[in-house]
Structure 1
Amino acid sequence: MSDFAVGNTVRLKCGGPLMSVGAVTGSAGDEDGVLVKCDWTDKTDKPQSVVYRQEQIELDDGSVGGFFAG
């Protein structure tokens, strides 16, 4: 079971833009583990999407808005 659900706001643990969870696949017992598809728009408002392992991201706590330097 994942801590992430579609629609959650997340960010990479190492920094970057806020993203929205678009899909969650897999499980902890799978070879690849839990994979989370993250969606966001870049600085030019172009939609972006990438899949991360759940260990790479964290739920947004609301302390950072939008893009940030990191």
Structure 2
Amino acid sequence: MPPAQRDAFVDEMRAAGVDWRLVVYGGALHAFHHPPVDHPVVPGVGYHPQHARRAWRDVVALLDECLPMPG
């Protein structure tokens, strides 16, 4: 995401007064959570196992916060 687009998003969320979060995984490429399979190398796309684990933990934590299990 270009910095100007990111900044516009941040400004829009702040102006709306909504609960939001933007997480940047430094050095991660597009589709960083997909393990390599038999597919051609695509520039700008690449698996990053550490960021994939972190992102999954973030998703699970967000779901737990927004959709807690009863009991």
Q: TM-score range by the shorter chain?
A: under 0.3
Report which of the two structures shows the higher radius of gyration computed on alpha carbons. Answer: 2
**TM-score normalised per structure 2:** 0.23
**TM-score normalised per structure 1:** 0.23
Greater helix content: 2
Greater strand content: 1
Structure possessing the higher relative contact order (Cα contacts under 8 Å, 6 or more residues apart): 1
